[in-house]
Amino acid sequence: MPRKRASRRLAADVSLLAVAAAFALPLAWVLLSAVDPHAGLRVRVPDGLTLDNFDAILTPEITYTPLLNSLVLCGGATALTVVCAALAAYPLSRFRSRLNRPFLLTILFATSLPITAIMVPVYALFVRVNLIDTLQGTVFFFTASQLPFAIWLMKNFMDGVPRELEEAAWTDGASALQSLARIVLPLMGPGLAVVTVFSFVMMWGNFFVPFMLLLSPDRMPASVSVNDFFGNRGMVAYGQLAAFSVIYSTPVILLYVLVARRLGGGFALGGAVKG
Amino acid sequence: MRHRYRIAGALPLGPAVVLLLLFLAGPIAYCVYIAFTDLQLTGQAHSSFVGLANFRRAFRDDAFLNAVWLTLVFTVLSSLVGQNTLGLALAALMKRASKPVRTLTGGVVVTAWVLPEVVAGFLLYAFFRREGTLNAILDWLHLPRQNWLFTLPILAVSFANVWRGTAFSMLVYSAALDEIPAEITEAAEVDGAGGWRRLWHITLPMIRRSIGTNLMLNTLQTLSVFGLIWVMTRGGPGDRSQTLPLFMYEQAFQNSMIGYGTAVALLLLLVGSLFSVVHLRLLRTEV
């Protein structure tokens, strides 16, 4: 029996390593090309290490402005999402009402609507109400599209905080908002972190929304501006494209690692999504 | 006291509800409206109601039917077959594998998922290009090379979507498999049930809810993929990888027909809502 188990483990290890290798090849390309002076399209060991690719792209026009735009856009929308979701989750989690269930079902329905499909009408609507090519318009749309899932997650995390702790505060005369801010939210730190990081990561990587709703090149976030490497600059400098991809991707990967570690390895999202 | 709570208690919902109504419900309602008009992009002052003309046009439009077909192929290949099966296989293998291998594989697969969509597109573009990594490997194995993005673009973008999306299924199935009590599988093993029989008669029935949820969410995510395909092929060559989102975009902006593009969008939204309702039904048994 132990021998059988050992051989089974070996088989599992070998298969997993094969899959991991296949998944790693494209990742290896971006990492190696970023430091390769003569980067092409295939994975290869660089003939010499260089930071020239990073030097070439670390200019205000190519890197700093788009990243700052991404930060303002996604940071603003994430902050708004988390605040609105926390406020909305509170009555849904704490007060009994006949409207809770229909509201939650509507929210849940909205979480899985394909947002891509409504981008053309959103564009037409934004042109009409003069929100096209504005930061606030894009922030509001990002927030609205992320809110259903954020409210759903937030409510589930909030349900995990026992009511008894709050009831004491209520008898001391604290208002609902006070007990939310002072008691409930501090107790659901990991949940709050998941909602914040998840919203931010989704927006940071989103291409279609800013691509449709923003027009001026100087307002573009990194997710859209990165396409300029193909479009306007003629010959594609693959090394620079790879270097930019590394810089643009690093923040979300770090954020993910941070949250995943805090929650003890397994990301709670798998469980949360299941309901 | 109770009554006061009821009104004041609902107030925190305000900001979220306002935003959702203005920026989510509003556009959806507007979508339903302009799908029945001939709204165009080119500075035309007003549009007129055209009834079902946009929809009749769609079903006679070969390019639309081509997009429907490609969307179907893309969804079945990458979501139902690819992400779902590979995700389950990875989750099952990880339960048996040694810890370092498990961590390594999980890390690599999840990284592909966390990467921004456009970056994932570039990486897979480089991988499938004629001068890219895949052909280099085929050369090394003395197998015939292909210009993947030209001969089989829909297959290439489907693989790209599998690469990018498998992590989600893997996480869902890992959580589901952890919930199966060890005694049950062990009992079956003692009774002499082989690996495949255990999978078919015990594992799959026990995680069937997770399978349903995962299939729905994968499909919905796959239906709305735009950036990945846009970066890799722009829907081309010609229209050979033009799924519905790309078709909708082309009609609305390259051909300036917002009304027609929105009608297509509305159809996509309807299909999405249908899946979404099924998803709700699956959850309802649990909630």
Contact A26 B20 (CB under 8 A): no
Q: Rounded CA gap, A201 and B97, in Å? A: 30
Q: pLDDT by residue (tens digit) across B139-176?
A: 888 888 888 888 889 999 999 999 999 998 998 888 88
* Cross-strand pairs, B49: B37
Task: Supply the pLDDT for residue B43.
Answer: 57
| Contact yes or no for A145 and B111 at CB 8 A | no
Q: Which of residues 197-226 of B touch A (CB under 8 A)?
A: 209-210, 213, 216-217, 220, 223-226
* Cβ contacts of B27 within 8 Å, gap of 6 or more: A118, A121, A122, A125
Closest residue in chain A to residue B17, using alpha carbons only: A88
pLDDT (average), residues B107-135: 88
Ordered DSSP codes for chain B: -HHHHHHHHHGGGHHHHHHHIIIIIHHHHHHHHHTTB---SS--S---B-TTHHHHHHHH-HHHHHHHHHHHHHIIIIIIIIIHHHHHHHHHHHHHS-HHHHHHHHHHHHHHHHS-HHHHHHHHHHHHSTTSHHHHHHHHTTPPP--HHHHSHHHHHHHHHHHHHHHHHHHHHHHHHHTS-HHHHHHHHHTT--HHHHIIIIIHHHTHHHHHHHHHHHHHHHHT--HHHHHHHTT-STTTT--HHHHHHIIIIIS--HHHHHHHHHHHHHHHHHHHHHHHHHHHTT-
Flag if A16 and B97 touch (Cβ within 8 Å): yes
Dump pLDDT digits (tens) for B230-246.
988 888 788 888 999 99
The phi and psi torsions of B49 (rounded to 5 degrees) equal -70, 130
Supply the pLDDT for residue B278. 82
pLDDT score for B5: 52
pLDDT for the residue B44: 59
Is B93 within 8 Å of A43 when comparing Cβ atoms? no
**Cβ–Cβ of B277/A245 closer than 8 Å?**
no
Q: How far is B88 from chain A (nearest CA, A)?
A: 12
Which residue out of B11, B22, B24 would a mutagenesis test of the A interface target, given it has the greatest number of A Cβ atoms within 10 Å? B24
Considering only residues 126 to 165 of chain B, which have any Cβ-Cβ distance to chain A shorter than 8 Å?
Answer: 126-127, 129, 131-133, 135-136, 163
For residue B28, list chain A residues with Cβ-Cβ distance below 8 A.
118, 121
The C-alpha angle with vertex A111 and arms to A105 and A114, in degrees rounded to 5, equals 130
Write down the domain spans for chain B.
Answer: 61-284
Chain B residues with CB under 8 Å of A227 CB are 118, 231
Tracing tokens 């989600």 back to the chain, one arrives at B168
pLDDT above 70 as % of chain B: 94
Residue A39 burial (CB count, 10 A):
24
Average pLDDT over all residues of chain B: 85
Rounded (5°) CA angle A20-A197-A91: 135
The residues, ordered by sequence, that sit 6+ positions from A166 with a Cβ below 8 Å of its Cβ are A94, A179, A183, A184
On the question of pLDDT at B57 being above 90, the answer is: no
The answer to whether B27 contacts A30, with C-beta atoms less than 8 Å apart, is no
For residues B33-52, one letter each, b for 16 or more C-beta atoms within 10 angstroms of the residue's C-beta and e for the rest, the string is bbbbbbbebeeeeebeebee
Evaluate whether B39 touches B31 at the Cβ level (below 8 Å).
Answer: no
Mean pLDDT value across residues B205-232? 88
* Residue the block writes with tokens 């952890």: B178
Interface check for B96 against chain A (CB to CB < 8 A): the answer is yes
Nearest to A26 among B24, B127, B136 (CB): B127
How many residue contacts between A and B have a Cβ separation below 8 Å? 282
Cβ distance B163 to A147 less than 8 Å, yes or no, reads: no
DSSP structure string for A34-82: HT-TT--SS----SS---HHHHHH-SIIIIIHHHHHHHHHHHHHHHHHH
Q: Helix axis angle, B2-10 relative to A65-94, nearest 10°?
A: 160
Tokens 């990587």 belong to residue: A205
Which residues of chain A fall short of a pLDDT of 50? Answer: 264-268, 270-275
Task: Look at A253 and B115 and tell me if their CB atoms are within 8 Å.
Answer: yes
Predicted pLDDT of residue A262? 66
pLDDT at B52: 85
Helix (H, G, I), strand (E, B) or coil at A87: helix
Residues 6+ apart with CB under 8 A from A206: A142, A223, B117, B227
| Contact state of A19 with B16 under an 8 Å Cβ cutoff | no
Q: Identity (one letter) of the amino acid at B202? A: I
Task: Indicate if the alpha-carbon torsion angle A183, A148, A223, A262 is positive or negative.
Answer: positive
Element (H, E) at A126: helix A119-128
Read off the pLDDT of residues A153-196 as tens digits, 9 standing for 90 and up. 898 888 888 888 788 777 877 777 888 888 888 888 888 888 89
Tell me what ipTM this predicted complex has. 0.86
| Interchain CB contact of B287 with A (< 8 Å) | yes
Superfamily of domain covering B61-284: MetI-like (1.10.3720.10)
B169: how many CB neighbours lie within 10 A of its CB?
Answer: 30
Residue B142: how many other CB atoms lie within 10 Å: 6
Check CB contact under 8 Å for B19 and A115.
no
Which domains are present in chain A?
Answer: 1-50 (no CATH), 53-273 (1.10.3720.10)
Q: Which of residues 160-189 of B touch A (CB under 8 A)?
A: 163, 168, 171-172, 174-176
Q: What is the DSSP letter of A96?
A: -
The residues facing B37 across adjacent strands are: B49
Q: Tokens 């976030």: give the residue.
A: A221
Q: Which of A5, A13, A14, A16 to probe the B interface (max B CBs under 10 A)? A: A16
Nearest alpha-carbon partner for A93 in A6, A166, A196: A166
**DSSP type of residue A218:** G
Q: Does B105 touch chain A (CB under 8 A)?
A: yes
